[in-house]
Structure 1
Amino acid sequence: MKLQYSLILIFTGLMALILLGINLVMYSMSSGYRKHGFYLSMENSATIVARAVLQQEKAEDYYEIKNSILQHLEDEEEYIIRVRRDKTNLKFPESLPLEKAFYWEAIKNGRAHHYQDGVYYVGLFIHNSNSEDDILVISTARDYEGDAYRKRLKTTLAATYLGALLLMTLTSIFFSKKLFGPMVQIIQKVNSINAFNLNDRLDKEHSLDEISELQSTLNEMLNRIESAFKAQQDYVSNTSHSLRTPLTIIAGEAEIALAAIEPGHKAKHSLQMIMQETVKLKHTVNTLLELVKVTGSGQKDTWKVTRLDEVLHEVLQTVGKMDGSFRLKIDYSDLPENESQLMVSANEHLLSLALSNIILNGFKYSGNKEVWVKLISQTDTIRVRVTDYGIGIPEEEKELIFTPYFRASNTEGFEGFGIGLPLALEIIRMHNGDIQVDSKQGKGTTVMIMLPVAKLLQREGQEA
């Protein structure tokens, strides 16, 4: 779980527990005060009743005071029990659901309280100095108003608790976004930086010192990475330029030698192999140079509207020169009648390089088995599907195949540098297209190149 969500849950959960405890304490204290007050009212009422019993001549006065001053108690009843001084022959009311312990507690302590099934019971023992019998008054009543009060209190506290819990959740989310929002932006920005945009930097717009310090640290790290990568690019570029001239000379000399020797000469096969390997090596050198060019500046060369099937035809000729044993099958069955749907706005050299890299990968990783290429035209998109039946790509490594210099774990026996697919993807994206790869290890790979037709690009340029 992300730290942001963990903090939200911890803060909200902790505050929910604290608020729940406060609500329980408030309810318990309020309910306790209410119950205590009701018992006190019952005791006052029982006291007056006891005085009226003890002083019969003033009974009416006591009852008048009780009715005019004291709170009226719902369903109030009083039971008078005369208690002999020796506490013998005591008879308690059988209609009351009270245990004998309640009566003896009242006699011993002077009062006793009990609550059962919504009914309050109060026992009040009054010592009578003028008689041999003392008075035990048992008072019963219901607190309907108190029950309603507790019900309202429960509802109020529950609603307040839920509202406060919602407010705390929203508040914690708000402040977590304020706190972690810059962190998320930094993570997204850093994840978007790759070999093709190493010159991007984090924007230092946050007032928090820690966030600004983190951005500065990451920018300094990116500066060091860019410097190291630039040095690597310069080295590859210089080396590639140094190799192009001798490779061109070797290819030219081999071609002259092939033209000069007689048919059937035993050196002819060797010269043909020299020619093929030289062409492959030149292609690798050109790929390295283009990778340096694209990743270094990202600028486009001269573009023009061209037919994709013609670009693909040139790619096939280039691939054929590299190795005459390559068996490339072309399917033009889905070509549209309207040739405008085949037009793309492209740099022919770069687009040819991307397509040839993908096709050559098909041959390389399938042991020179057949590679099928199909051109598929749609209303606003034209697709090139390249299918091979080679070693495939491990499922857990599919997301890494477009990372520069990455090679799958099952390619140890094959030559390569891990730059063909990353370069192809970057070139296709420069053409506002995309690449999708579907592969099963041991069964082969299908690469789908998608490019927008030129008329859509032209329309977008006019609207802009």
Structure 2
Amino acid sequence: MKWRLTRRFLVSIVLIVGLIVVMNTLLLIALLFIQSYKKTATSPEAVEVTATRFSDEIIVKNGKPTITNRGQKILEENHAWVQILNKEGKEVAAYQTPASLPTSYSPVEIVQMYKYKEVNGKTTVFVGEAENLSYFFGIEDPKLMRVVYNFNFDQISYIFTKLFLVFLVADLLIATLVGFLFGSRLTKPMYKLIEGIHRLKHQDYEKISVKGGPYREVFENMNDLSTTLKSVETERKKLDQMRNEWIGNVSHDLKTPLASIQGYAELLQEDVTDEERLTYTQIIEQKSLYMRDLLNDLNLTTKLQSGTFPLQKEKVLLSSFVRECVIDVLNDPIYQTCSIIFEAESETLSATLDSNLFKRALLNFIYNALIHNSENTDIQINLSTGYPQEHENYFSEKLSTDFATIQIIDFGKGIPVDEQPFLFNRYYRGTNTKDTQGSGLGMAIAQDIIQAHDGVVYIKSKEGEGTTISIILPLQ
């Protein structure tokens, strides 16, 4: 995987550079080809063509040459001159020739006149033929120069091909070296990223060291993902542990009544008195009802969690509703001597509730305050508008008086700080519940009920001072 990335990047760089070299070469050839056909009036090629074609402007009549008017005009426009010679090299006609120009030439002098600048350093001379005559066509231009090359086309083609291959190989080698160095630096962080992904795959959430560069944000996001996955994994393990503990508790809670039912059923098969038979059947009924309630709790918490439980809502006066719950608790012979004080800020506060369901949630909090504290613990229940100031930090913005708060306050032994975050977990049972029956679903069900009514519930507790449970509900 490591070398595969580098190899792909390197091949891409080499192909790109090779393509650029080929395109530049083709462009150069095209430009040279176009330039070979591009001629201007002052270019050497154009002047030579003019000199060669000037033979058309020379007319011979009765053996005497003359220059046409058009030819004279061409000479004047190009600052040129012409000297016409016969076969013996003697001048027979001339136009605008320099005064120092000879009037007779030997064959050698004619060659020298063509090849070399025999007139002056500014004049270039061309040679042409017109019928049986020859002529010198001279043009005075210091920027104009004629150079004679002798070359072999095959040799030029071979040299050009060889140079092209040399430059191509050199460019590819340079591109390979640069691509390798650049690619190694660019793809090296990718190896760490891939390695980090493999570690995540095997649940290794170690963070990757972050350095500068184009991948810095990628590594930071990768580390954030590692942190999130590690947190999720930790929570999952805690949840699994609590679930296993809860299953163990529920199994124990079911085994105990089942064992009692089985034992008393076996006793009923023996000869027993009517009084004993009545006692045994009452115990069996009690245990079976407990098992039924436990299964109902399991069914209720599942439906509340999934949002499939149908609520039978109706408008309820909160003061009357809470007062009835307090009376129900005090009518229980077990708690009739307990001290429960209820105070309502207003008797007209109303909310839309499922009375039976919400009563279960409220009674759960009240019974918990009674069961998990000593018998002489005072309980105070308050009903007010707005929200309690001690929970102000829970809200991003202050709530209006369209909300009501029900507070269950006990002045008992309080709840340990390390247990408070888990009180509403479905699989949690506190350390002070070892000697009490229950499945550990009561608090979770109570919270689900309140949330189903668009409310929230918070707990504030301090060991040795007591616990305050605040239920905040939207008003009608």
Give the TM-score taking structure 2 as reference length: 0.36
TM-score by length of 1: 0.37
Larger gyration radius, structure 1 or structure 2: 2
